Structure 1
Amino acid sequence: MQLILVRHPQPLIAPGICYGRSDLAVAPVQLAQTLAALSTTLPQGLPLYSSPLQRCATLAAQLAAPLRSPAPLLDARIAEIDFGDWELRPWDDIARADIDAWAADLVNYHPGGGESVLQMASRIAAFYADLQRQQRDAVVICHAGAMRLLSACHAGLPPAEMALQAARHPHQIAYGATLVLQN
């Protein structure tokens, strides 16, 4: 089974703002550029899975026709982490003590009272297990955090180790980039 993970285009948000589960649009130019690049490089006819957040779902919906794929299946399990009260706040406005508390417990801390990385890893692992049972190639349009966790899951790590690995390694996954997981 081959999974092709695709990161969404750059969302319309100022630099330095904390966002995860916030439903952000993308600039039409960014969407068009990403769509053009992916339409010619992704294999045709594969099922498309997408985070329901519009920065992913819009790309997935527009990719379906050029890839001759069925309509994308939206799955909330591959949405980005929920940063709770931190969402849409400048990182500089979040108390240093809160950031330090998260750094001290990367796996279990609930940033902004939202979701822990372990909770996100558990839902990503459940999504991955469902894909494994289907035993077919697919394109998954999601977020950098989901891509790091899916990669860790693919390596055979349990959710707690997935969370730790993903939290400790900066993503460095460009907007619109792909990552291929091959069994």
Structure 2
Amino acid sequence: MKFYVTRHGEAVWNVDNKICGRTDVELTEKGYAQAEELAERVKDYHIDLIISSPLQRAFETARTVANRYRIPLQIDERLIEQNYGIYEGKDRQDEGFLANKRQFAYRYPEGGESMMQMAYRVYGFIEDVKKNYPGKNVLVVCHGGVCRVIRSYFTDMTNDEFFHYYKENCQIEEYEL
């Protein structure tokens, strides 16, 4: 079973270098073009199912691929980006945000979520896909933080590698389930 993972197309706040988290921001024109390019790149992947985060930047990316090839598309809340609490909308280089990002068991202030909480839900999602779709090729469309956690499921990473891991918009990684 192939498990393909991609980050959504460019969103408005990506251009402004803002932390998107769970804020539901839309794709830019470039983001829609990236989604079209993604659809072209996966044409020979024999994808049976696409599962997307409910946030519009991921869903619109997923829908572009699904519509082109008439692939079933599902939404899974567990793929929503990490809740960054007070850092939503702030600059990605904010010192407080970067310090918090290194503390895996620490919740982001004011209603945020820890990396460990996010890993719990994302790992559960992967286990459910493995159990429910054996032999199927699945494309997951989600967010940078979720992509980082998915990579850690399949690949051992040091804390520093995990912290610095970054996936470009609409870049695909392939895993075997």
- TM above 0.5, yes or no, is yes
- TM-score, normalization by structure 1: 0.82
Partner of 2:146: 146
Q: How does 1:32-47 map to 2 (within 5 A)?
A: 33-42=33-42, 43-47=45-49
Matched AA of 2:30: V
Shift of 1:153: 1.3
Q: How does 1:101-140 map to 2 (within 5 A)?
A: 102=100, 106-113=103-110, 114-134=112-132, 135=134, 136-140=136-140
Shift of 1:166: 8.2
Determine if contact 2:51/2:140 at 8 Å carries over to the other structure: yes
| Number of residue pairs aligned between Structure 1 and Structure 2 | 171
- 5+ residue gaps, structure 2: none
Q: How does 1:1-183 map to 2 (within 5 A)?
A: 1-13=1-13, 14-31=15-32, 33-42=33-42, 43-70=45-72, 72-91=73-92, 96=95, 98-99=96-97, 102=100, 106-113=103-110, 114-134=112-132, 135=134, 136-155=136-155, 165=159, 168-183=162-177
Q: Name the CA shift for 1:66/1:91 in 2 (closer, same or farther; >3 Å).
A: closer
- 5+ residue gaps, structure 1: none
- TM-score, normalization by structure 2: 0.84
SS at match of 1:169: helix
Q: Name the CA shift for 1:90/1:38 in 2 (closer, same or farther; >3 Å).
A: closer
Q: Name the CA shift for 1:44/1:68 in 2 (closer, same or farther; >3 Å).
A: farther
Determine if contact 1:7/1:141 at 8 Å carries over to the other structure: yes
